[in-house]
Amino acid sequence: MRALMFDRYGSESVLQLRELPVPVPGANEVQVKVTVAALNPVDFKLRAGMFRLIRKPTLPAITGKDFAGRITALGGDVHGFTIGQRVFGSVNPMGGHGSCVETLVIGTDLIGATPENISDDIAACLSVAAGTALQALVTAAQLKAGQSVLITGASGGVGASAVQIARSIGAKVTGVCGTANVDYVKNIGADNVIDYKKADWRNAGNIFDVIFDAAGASTFGEARSQLSPTGFYLNTTPTLRMFLTSKFLPLVSKRRCVPVMMKTDARLQSELARLAASNVIVPLIARVISLEDVAGAQRDMEEGKIHGKVCVRISE
Ligand SMILES: NC(=O)c1ccc[n+]([C@@H]2O[C@H](COP(=O)([O-])OP(=O)(O)OC[C@H]3O[C@@H](n4cnc5c(N)ncnc54)[C@H](OP(=O)(O)O)[C@@H]3O)[C@@H](O)[C@H]2O)c1
Protein backbone atom coordinates (compact mmCIF):
# COMPACT_ATOMS: atom_id res chain seq x y z
CA MET A 1 0.00 0.00 0.00
CA ARG A 2 1.08 3.62 -0.61
CA ALA A 3 2.05 5.97 2.23
CA LEU A 4 3.34 9.56 2.12
CA MET A 5 6.36 9.55 4.44
CA PHE A 6 9.35 11.50 5.67
CA ASP A 7 12.48 10.06 7.30
CA ARG A 8 14.10 13.37 8.24
CA TYR A 9 12.76 16.77 9.27
CA GLY A 10 12.67 19.53 6.68
CA SER A 11 10.64 21.35 4.02
CA GLU A 12 7.87 19.65 2.05
CA SER A 13 10.59 18.21 -0.23
CA VAL A 14 11.32 15.50 2.40
CA LEU A 15 7.93 13.88 1.67
CA GLN A 16 8.08 10.73 -0.45
CA LEU A 17 5.49 8.18 -1.60
CA ARG A 18 6.57 4.70 -0.47
CA GLU A 19 5.19 1.16 -0.52
CA LEU A 20 4.54 -0.38 2.91
CA PRO A 21 2.99 -3.68 4.03
CA VAL A 22 -0.68 -3.40 4.99
CA PRO A 23 -0.80 -3.06 8.83
CA VAL A 24 -2.63 -5.66 10.94
CA PRO A 25 -4.81 -4.49 13.86
CA GLY A 26 -3.85 -5.53 17.40
CA ALA A 27 -6.02 -5.69 20.52
CA ASN A 28 -8.57 -2.85 20.73
CA GLU A 29 -7.61 -1.67 17.22
CA VAL A 30 -9.34 -1.62 13.84
CA GLN A 31 -7.91 -1.58 10.34
CA VAL A 32 -9.33 1.27 8.23
CA LYS A 33 -9.20 1.75 4.45
CA VAL A 34 -8.71 5.51 4.25
CA THR A 35 -11.01 7.27 1.78
CA VAL A 36 -10.03 10.85 2.73
CA ALA A 37 -7.26 12.40 4.83
CA ALA A 38 -7.50 16.08 5.81
CA LEU A 39 -4.55 18.39 6.39
CA ASN A 40 -3.83 20.63 9.40
CA PRO A 41 -0.98 23.03 10.29
CA VAL A 42 0.28 20.46 12.81
CA ASP A 43 1.21 18.21 9.85
CA PHE A 44 3.79 20.61 8.42
CA LYS A 45 4.97 21.55 11.94
CA LEU A 46 5.66 17.86 12.76
CA ARG A 47 7.35 17.36 9.37
CA ALA A 48 9.55 20.41 9.96
CA GLY A 49 10.55 19.05 13.39
CA MET A 50 9.03 21.96 15.31
CA PHE A 51 7.98 19.73 18.23
CA ARG A 52 11.11 17.58 18.35
CA LEU A 53 12.37 19.08 21.60
CA ILE A 54 9.15 18.31 23.48
CA ARG A 55 7.56 15.37 21.65
CA LYS A 56 9.72 13.49 19.21
CA PRO A 57 7.80 11.35 16.71
CA THR A 58 9.42 8.12 15.55
CA LEU A 59 11.08 8.41 12.13
CA PRO A 60 10.33 7.43 9.42
CA ALA A 61 6.83 8.85 9.84
CA ILE A 62 3.68 9.06 7.74
CA THR A 63 2.39 12.62 7.38
CA GLY A 64 -1.17 13.68 8.33
CA LYS A 65 -3.42 13.06 11.34
CA ASP A 66 -7.08 13.37 10.34
CA PHE A 67 -8.94 10.82 8.21
CA ALA A 68 -12.23 9.19 7.32
CA GLY A 69 -12.70 5.71 5.88
CA ARG A 70 -14.23 2.27 6.27
CA ILE A 71 -13.30 -0.53 8.69
CA THR A 72 -11.73 -3.49 6.86
CA ALA A 73 -10.64 -5.69 9.81
CA LEU A 74 -11.11 -5.90 13.59
CA GLY A 75 -8.40 -6.65 16.15
CA GLY A 76 -9.04 -8.55 19.38
CA ASP A 77 -11.45 -7.26 22.03
CA VAL A 78 -13.12 -4.74 19.70
CA HIS A 79 -16.71 -4.00 20.64
CA GLY A 80 -19.19 -1.59 19.05
CA PHE A 81 -17.56 -1.48 15.60
CA THR A 82 -18.15 -3.72 12.56
CA ILE A 83 -16.36 -4.48 9.29
CA GLY A 84 -17.64 -2.12 6.57
CA GLN A 85 -18.60 0.62 9.05
CA ARG A 86 -17.72 4.23 8.14
CA VAL A 87 -15.50 5.88 10.77
CA PHE A 88 -13.41 9.02 11.17
CA GLY A 89 -10.74 10.13 13.61
CA SER A 90 -7.24 11.40 14.22
CA VAL A 91 -4.05 9.36 14.40
CA ASN A 92 -1.57 9.79 17.25
CA PRO A 93 1.54 10.66 15.21
CA MET A 94 4.10 9.94 17.92
CA GLY A 95 4.77 6.33 16.83
CA GLY A 96 5.38 7.40 13.21
CA HIS A 97 1.71 6.78 12.31
CA GLY A 98 -0.18 9.08 9.96
CA SER A 99 -3.30 9.46 7.83
CA CYS A 100 -1.86 10.06 4.31
CA VAL A 101 -1.86 6.33 3.68
CA GLU A 102 -4.12 3.78 1.97
CA THR A 103 -4.73 1.65 5.08
CA LEU A 104 -4.09 2.42 8.76
CA VAL A 105 -4.69 0.76 12.11
CA ILE A 106 -5.98 2.79 15.03
CA GLY A 107 -7.26 2.28 18.57
CA THR A 108 -11.03 2.33 18.93
CA ASP A 109 -10.59 5.05 21.56
CA LEU A 110 -9.54 7.47 18.79
CA ILE A 111 -12.39 7.01 16.29
CA GLY A 112 -16.07 7.77 15.95
CA ALA A 113 -18.83 6.48 13.68
CA THR A 114 -19.40 8.74 10.67
CA PRO A 115 -23.04 9.92 10.58
CA GLU A 116 -25.00 8.79 7.48
CA ASN A 117 -25.79 12.33 6.38
CA ILE A 118 -22.21 13.62 6.21
CA SER A 119 -19.62 12.84 3.55
CA ASP A 120 -16.16 11.41 4.23
CA ASP A 121 -14.69 14.76 3.08
CA ILE A 122 -16.56 16.55 5.88
CA ALA A 123 -15.88 13.82 8.47
CA ALA A 124 -12.14 13.88 7.73
CA CYS A 125 -12.02 17.63 8.44
CA LEU A 126 -13.50 17.42 11.94
CA SER A 127 -11.09 15.93 14.47
CA VAL A 128 -8.17 18.33 14.96
CA ALA A 129 -9.77 21.65 13.98
CA ALA A 130 -13.32 21.34 15.34
CA GLY A 131 -12.11 19.09 18.19
CA THR A 132 -9.75 21.83 19.38
CA ALA A 133 -12.52 24.44 19.18
CA LEU A 134 -14.91 22.22 21.14
CA GLN A 135 -12.39 21.39 23.87
CA ALA A 136 -11.36 25.03 24.21
CA LEU A 137 -14.79 26.66 24.32
CA VAL A 138 -16.94 23.95 25.90
CA THR A 139 -14.64 21.78 28.05
CA ALA A 140 -12.15 24.41 29.21
CA ALA A 141 -13.98 27.77 29.13
CA GLN A 142 -17.50 26.35 29.64
CA LEU A 143 -18.92 29.04 27.35
CA LYS A 144 -22.57 29.86 28.08
CA ALA A 145 -25.45 31.54 26.26
CA GLY A 146 -25.26 35.32 26.55
CA GLN A 147 -21.51 35.43 27.23
CA SER A 148 -19.25 37.39 24.89
CA VAL A 149 -16.41 35.61 23.10
CA LEU A 150 -13.65 36.89 20.84
CA ILE A 151 -12.19 34.33 18.41
CA THR A 152 -9.04 35.03 16.39
CA GLY A 153 -8.20 33.01 13.27
CA ALA A 154 -11.99 32.99 12.80
CA SER A 155 -11.64 32.15 9.11
CA GLY A 156 -9.34 29.15 9.78
CA GLY A 157 -10.07 25.51 10.55
CA VAL A 158 -10.11 25.90 14.36
CA GLY A 159 -11.50 29.45 14.50
CA ALA A 160 -14.37 28.92 12.04
CA SER A 161 -15.50 25.82 14.00
CA ALA A 162 -15.25 27.90 17.18
CA VAL A 163 -17.47 30.62 15.68
CA GLN A 164 -20.06 27.99 14.68
CA ILE A 165 -19.98 26.27 18.10
CA ALA A 166 -20.14 29.57 20.03
CA ARG A 167 -23.04 30.75 17.87
CA SER A 168 -24.96 27.51 18.52
CA ILE A 169 -24.44 27.94 22.28
CA GLY A 170 -25.96 31.42 22.04
CA ALA A 171 -22.85 33.46 22.84
CA LYS A 172 -22.16 36.92 21.37
CA VAL A 173 -19.36 36.29 18.90
CA THR A 174 -16.64 38.64 17.67
CA GLY A 175 -14.44 37.07 15.00
CA VAL A 176 -10.97 38.28 13.99
CA CYS A 177 -9.71 37.51 10.46
CA GLY A 178 -8.05 39.05 7.41
CA THR A 179 -9.79 41.41 4.95
CA ALA A 180 -10.57 38.75 2.32
CA ASN A 181 -12.51 36.60 4.83
CA VAL A 182 -14.64 39.16 6.69
CA ASP A 183 -17.84 38.22 4.78
CA TYR A 184 -17.22 34.51 5.34
CA VAL A 185 -16.85 34.98 9.10
CA LYS A 186 -20.08 37.04 9.21
CA ASN A 187 -21.87 34.36 7.18
CA ILE A 188 -20.92 31.55 9.59
CA GLY A 189 -22.43 33.46 12.50
CA ALA A 190 -20.15 36.14 13.98
CA ASP A 191 -22.06 39.16 15.32
CA ASN A 192 -19.03 41.41 14.80
CA VAL A 193 -15.87 40.96 12.75
CA ILE A 194 -12.54 42.72 13.27
CA ASP A 195 -10.16 42.77 10.29
CA TYR A 196 -6.73 42.29 11.89
CA LYS A 197 -5.09 43.94 8.89
CA LYS A 198 -6.91 47.19 9.68
CA ALA A 199 -7.49 47.19 13.46
CA ASP A 200 -6.01 45.62 16.60
CA TRP A 201 -8.57 43.94 18.90
CA ARG A 202 -6.11 44.35 21.78
CA ASN A 203 -6.70 48.12 21.71
CA ALA A 204 -10.40 48.14 20.87
CA GLY A 205 -11.54 48.69 24.47
CA ASN A 206 -14.07 45.82 24.47
CA ILE A 207 -14.43 43.35 27.35
CA PHE A 208 -14.99 39.64 26.69
CA ASP A 209 -15.90 36.68 28.91
CA VAL A 210 -13.78 34.43 26.72
CA ILE A 211 -10.89 35.24 24.38
CA PHE A 212 -9.98 32.25 22.20
CA ASP A 213 -6.80 33.05 20.27
CA ALA A 214 -7.12 30.27 17.68
CA ALA A 215 -4.49 32.00 15.52
CA GLY A 216 -2.00 32.00 18.41
CA ALA A 217 -1.26 35.66 17.68
CA SER A 218 -1.29 37.18 21.20
CA THR A 219 -0.11 36.71 24.78
CA PHE A 220 -2.12 36.64 28.00
CA GLY A 221 -0.47 39.93 29.00
CA GLU A 222 -1.73 41.62 25.83
CA ALA A 223 -5.25 40.20 26.20
CA ARG A 224 -5.71 40.72 29.97
CA SER A 225 -7.18 44.23 29.77
CA GLN A 226 -9.89 42.95 27.37
CA LEU A 227 -10.96 40.13 29.73
CA SER A 228 -13.82 40.28 32.24
CA PRO A 229 -12.72 39.78 35.92
CA THR A 230 -13.59 36.05 35.64
CA GLY A 231 -12.69 35.74 31.95
CA PHE A 232 -10.89 32.88 30.17
CA TYR A 233 -7.97 33.41 27.79
CA LEU A 234 -7.12 30.41 25.58
CA ASN A 235 -4.33 30.11 23.01
CA THR A 236 -3.63 27.30 20.50
CA THR A 237 0.11 28.06 20.29
CA PRO A 238 1.16 27.73 23.94
CA THR A 239 4.51 28.99 25.18
CA LEU A 240 6.37 28.04 28.38
CA ARG A 241 5.33 31.41 29.82
CA MET A 242 1.67 30.56 29.14
CA PHE A 243 1.98 27.24 31.01
CA LEU A 244 3.55 29.05 33.97
CA THR A 245 0.82 31.73 33.89
CA SER A 246 -1.86 29.03 33.83
CA LYS A 247 -0.38 27.52 37.04
CA PHE A 248 0.16 30.72 39.03
CA LEU A 249 -2.68 32.99 37.84
CA PRO A 250 -5.35 31.28 40.03
CA LEU A 251 -3.35 32.34 43.14
CA VAL A 252 -3.92 36.03 42.41
CA SER A 253 -6.88 36.33 40.03
CA LYS A 254 -10.25 34.87 39.03
CA ARG A 255 -9.18 35.10 35.40
CA ARG A 256 -7.84 31.95 33.73
CA CYS A 257 -5.13 31.38 31.11
CA VAL A 258 -5.43 28.07 29.21
CA PRO A 259 -2.68 26.76 26.92
CA VAL A 260 -4.78 24.66 24.54
CA MET A 261 -3.46 21.13 23.98
CA MET A 262 -6.05 19.22 22.02
CA LYS A 263 -6.54 15.59 23.09
CA THR A 264 -8.70 13.36 20.97
CA ASP A 265 -10.87 10.52 22.30
CA ALA A 266 -13.95 8.57 21.29
CA ARG A 267 -16.31 10.84 23.29
CA LEU A 268 -14.98 13.92 21.51
CA GLN A 269 -15.43 12.20 18.14
CA SER A 270 -19.02 11.29 18.87
CA GLU A 271 -19.81 14.88 19.96
CA LEU A 272 -18.18 16.18 16.75
CA ALA A 273 -20.24 13.68 14.73
CA ARG A 274 -23.42 14.96 16.41
CA LEU A 275 -22.55 18.61 15.74
CA ALA A 276 -21.63 17.94 12.09
CA ALA A 277 -24.73 15.82 11.50
CA SER A 278 -26.92 18.65 12.81
CA ASN A 279 -25.06 21.22 10.65
CA VAL A 280 -23.71 23.17 13.64
CA ILE A 281 -20.17 22.57 12.35
CA VAL A 282 -19.84 22.91 8.58
CA PRO A 283 -16.17 22.87 7.53
CA LEU A 284 -15.24 24.90 4.46
CA ILE A 285 -13.39 22.65 2.01
CA ALA A 286 -10.94 24.69 -0.06
CA ARG A 287 -9.24 21.93 -2.07
CA VAL A 288 -9.68 18.26 -2.85
CA ILE A 289 -6.35 16.77 -3.93
CA SER A 290 -4.52 13.45 -4.36
CA LEU A 291 -1.59 12.04 -2.35
CA GLU A 292 0.81 13.34 -5.03
CA ASP A 293 -0.29 16.95 -4.31
CA VAL A 294 0.07 16.91 -0.50
CA ALA A 295 3.60 18.36 -0.43
CA GLY A 296 2.52 21.41 -2.47
CA ALA A 297 -0.60 21.86 -0.35
CA GLN A 298 1.46 21.74 2.89
CA ARG A 299 3.72 24.47 1.46
CA ASP A 300 0.69 26.61 0.52
CA MET A 301 -0.80 26.12 4.02
CA GLU A 302 2.47 27.14 5.61
CA GLU A 303 2.52 30.29 3.47
CA GLY A 304 -1.08 31.14 4.46
CA LYS A 305 -2.35 30.73 0.88
CA ILE A 306 -5.25 28.38 1.64
CA HIS A 307 -8.53 29.53 3.17
CA GLY A 308 -10.34 26.40 4.36
CA LYS A 309 -9.60 22.72 4.71
CA VAL A 310 -7.66 20.50 2.30
CA CYS A 311 -9.03 16.99 1.68
CA VAL A 312 -6.80 14.28 0.23
CA ARG A 313 -8.88 11.65 -1.65
CA ILE A 314 -7.07 8.35 -1.28
CA SER A 315 -9.66 5.71 -2.27
CA GLU A 316 -13.38 5.37 -3.16
N1 LIG B 1 -2.49 23.35 20.51
C2 LIG B 1 -3.32 22.57 19.84
O3 LIG B 1 -3.77 21.54 20.35
C4 LIG B 1 -3.73 22.97 18.44
C5 LIG B 1 -4.75 22.28 17.79
C6 LIG B 1 -5.14 22.71 16.52
C7 LIG B 1 -4.48 23.79 15.92
N8 LIG B 1 -3.46 24.40 16.58
C9 LIG B 1 -2.78 25.56 15.98
O10 LIG B 1 -3.75 26.61 15.84
C11 LIG B 1 -3.41 27.41 14.72
C12 LIG B 1 -4.63 27.56 13.81
O13 LIG B 1 -4.95 26.31 13.23
P14 LIG B 1 -5.97 26.23 11.99
O15 LIG B 1 -6.14 24.84 11.62
O16 LIG B 1 -7.19 27.05 12.30
O17 LIG B 1 -5.11 27.02 10.87
P18 LIG B 1 -5.60 27.71 9.53
O19 LIG B 1 -6.81 27.02 8.98
O20 LIG B 1 -4.41 27.87 8.67
O21 LIG B 1 -6.10 29.15 9.98
C22 LIG B 1 -5.26 30.15 10.52
C23 LIG B 1 -6.07 31.41 10.53
O24 LIG B 1 -5.37 32.39 11.31
C25 LIG B 1 -5.71 33.65 10.78
N26 LIG B 1 -4.71 34.62 11.18
C27 LIG B 1 -3.42 34.73 10.78
N28 LIG B 1 -2.82 35.75 11.42
C29 LIG B 1 -3.76 36.29 12.26
C30 LIG B 1 -3.76 37.37 13.18
N31 LIG B 1 -2.67 38.13 13.37
N32 LIG B 1 -4.90 37.63 13.87
C33 LIG B 1 -6.00 36.88 13.69
N34 LIG B 1 -6.08 35.86 12.82
C35 LIG B 1 -4.96 35.57 12.11
C36 LIG B 1 -5.83 33.46 9.28
O37 LIG B 1 -6.80 34.38 8.84
P38 LIG B 1 -6.90 35.00 7.38
O39 LIG B 1 -6.69 33.84 6.44
O40 LIG B 1 -8.31 35.53 7.34
O41 LIG B 1 -5.84 36.04 7.24
C42 LIG B 1 -6.27 31.99 9.14
O43 LIG B 1 -7.61 31.85 8.80
C44 LIG B 1 -2.21 26.74 14.05
O45 LIG B 1 -1.03 27.36 14.49
C46 LIG B 1 -2.27 25.33 14.57
O47 LIG B 1 -1.03 24.66 14.55
C48 LIG B 1 -3.07 24.02 17.82
- Report how far ligand 1's centroid is from the alpha carbon of 251 (Å): 31
The pLDDT value recorded for residue 88 is 98
Using the predicted structure, report yes or no on whether residue 53 has a pLDDT greater than 80.
Answer: no
The answer on 163 and 199 residing in a single domain is yes
Q: Which residues form the domain of 54? A: 2-125+283-313
What is the arithmetic mean of pLDDT over 53-75? 91
The pLDDT value recorded for residue 237 is 96
- Report how far ligand 1's centroid is from the alpha carbon of 23 (Å): 33
- Report how far ligand 1's centroid is from the alpha carbon of 145 (Å): 25
The pLDDT value recorded for residue 58 is 85
Name the residue at shortest CA distance from atom 10 of ligand 1.
236
Spell 141-159 as b/e; 16+ CB within 10 A means b: bebeeebbbbbbbbbbbbb
The answer on 237 and 163 residing in a single domain is yes
Q: Ligand 1 pocket test: which of 54, 132, 174 has the largest number of ligand atoms within 8 Å of its C-beta? A: 132
The pLDDT value recorded for residue 57 is 72
- Report how far ligand 1's centroid is from the alpha carbon of 155 (Å): 8
pLDDT band at 32 (very low <50, low <70, confident <90, very high): very high
The answer on 133 and 116 residing in a single domain is no
> For residue 273, is it within any domain?
no
Q: Are 19 and 303 in contact (CB under 8 A)?
A: no
Domain containing residue 91: CATH number = 3.90.180.10
| pLDDT tens sequence across 184-214 | 999 999 999 999 999 999 988 899 999 999 9
| pLDDT tens sequence across 162-179 | 999 999 999 999 999 999
Q: Provide residues with CB under 6 Å of ligand 1.
A: 40-42, 45, 128-129, 132, 152-153, 155-159, 176-178, 181, 196, 214-217, 236-237, 260-262, 301, 307
The answer on 41 and 28 residing in a single domain is yes
Q: Are 297 and 107 in contact (CB under 8 A)?
A: no
Q: What percent of the chain has pLDDT over 90?
A: 93
| pLDDT tens sequence across 267-314 | 999 999 999 999 999 999 999 999 999 999 999 999 999 999 999 999
> For residue 250, is it within any domain?
yes
> For residue 267, is it within any domain?
no
The answer on 78 and 183 residing in a single domain is no
The answer on 231 and 173 residing in a single domain is yes
Name the residue at shortest CA distance from atom 35 of ligand 1.
153
The answer on 227 and 211 residing in a single domain is yes
> What average pLDDT does the chain have?
96
The answer on 195 and 90 residing in a single domain is no
Q: Ligand 1 pocket test: which of 158, 187, 234, 309 has the largest number of ligand atoms within 8 Å of its C-beta? A: 158
The answer on 149 and 102 residing in a single domain is no
Give Cα 275 to chain centroid, integer Å: 15
Whole-structure pTM over 0.95, yes or no? Answer: yes
Please count the structural domains in the chain. 2
> For residue 209, is it within any domain?
yes
Using the predicted structure, report yes or no on whether residue 35 has a pLDDT greater than 80.
Answer: yes
The answer on 90 and 42 residing in a single domain is yes
| pLDDT tens sequence across 233-265 | 999 999 999 999 999 999 999 999 999 999 988
The answer on 140 and 115 residing in a single domain is no
The answer on 214 and 114 residing in a single domain is no
Domain containing residue 240: CATH number = 3.40.50.720
The pLDDT value recorded for residue 94 is 85
> For residue 193, is it within any domain?
yes
> For residue 132, is it within any domain?
yes
> For residue 266, is it within any domain?
no
The pLDDT value recorded for residue 131 is 98
